[in-house]
């Protein structure tokens, strides 16, 4: 929202084909995290945010065991968000479907993959919240 104050950069990458659709692609670069890449994808007609990809590669420091140095690999993280099934309720348009995929390629060569797939059955707003929901127990 305030790129000048945060010294972050947003670069327009033009139209990219994602999942068979032409989407407007932007790359966000933070001043504070140079090893993370963030790509945002928008519907060029509606401006709706449809997809985000976050990637980060990290080299872990030495373990102190000289035998492990040849086996040290870069750890790769990737998170993808997908927004779809947009619905308009009371003048507000929101995605009713959200899919999040997280993957991590570890130093030992294994890959962990997690997938959360959420669908909203109902969209409501101005709902009274019970203050007890925010109490630390």
Q: What pLDDT, in 10s, does the model give residues 63-120?
A: 555 555 555 667 899 999 999 999 998 888 999 999 999 999 887 778 899 999 999 9
> For position 17, what pLDDT does the model report?
95
How high is the pLDDT of residue 42?
A: 97
pTM of the model: 0.78
pLDDT at 80: 97
Contact between residue 23 and residue 33 where contact means Cβ atoms under 8 Å apart? no
pLDDT for residue 126 is more than 70: yes
- Angle, CA of 95, 12 and 22, to the nearest 5°: 55
- Maximum Cα–Cα distance for the chain, whole Å? 63
Q: Tell me the per-residue pLDDT of 12-67, one tens digit each, with 9 for 90 and over.
A: 999 999 989 999 999 998 877 678 899 999 999 999 999 999 999 877 655 555 55
Whether 128 contacts 108, CB under 8 Å: no
């Amino acid at each position: 929202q305030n790129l000048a104050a945060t010294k972050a950069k947003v670069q327009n990458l033009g139209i990219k084909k994602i999942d068979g659709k032409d989407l407007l692609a932007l790359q966000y670069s933070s001043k504070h995290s140079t090893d993370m890449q963030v790509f945002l994808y928008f519907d060029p007609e509606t401006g709706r945010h449809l997809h985000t990809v976050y990637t980060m590669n990290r080299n872990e420091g030495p373990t102190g065991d000289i035998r492990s140095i040849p086996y040290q690999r870069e750890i790769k993280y990737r998170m993808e968000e997908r927004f779809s099934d947009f619905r308009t309720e009371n003048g507000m348009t929101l995605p009713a479907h959200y899919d999040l995929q997280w993957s991590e390629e570890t130093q030992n060569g294994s890959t962990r993959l997690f997938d959360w797939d959420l669908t909203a059955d109902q969209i409501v707003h101005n709902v009274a919240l019970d203050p007890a929901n925010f109490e630390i127990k």
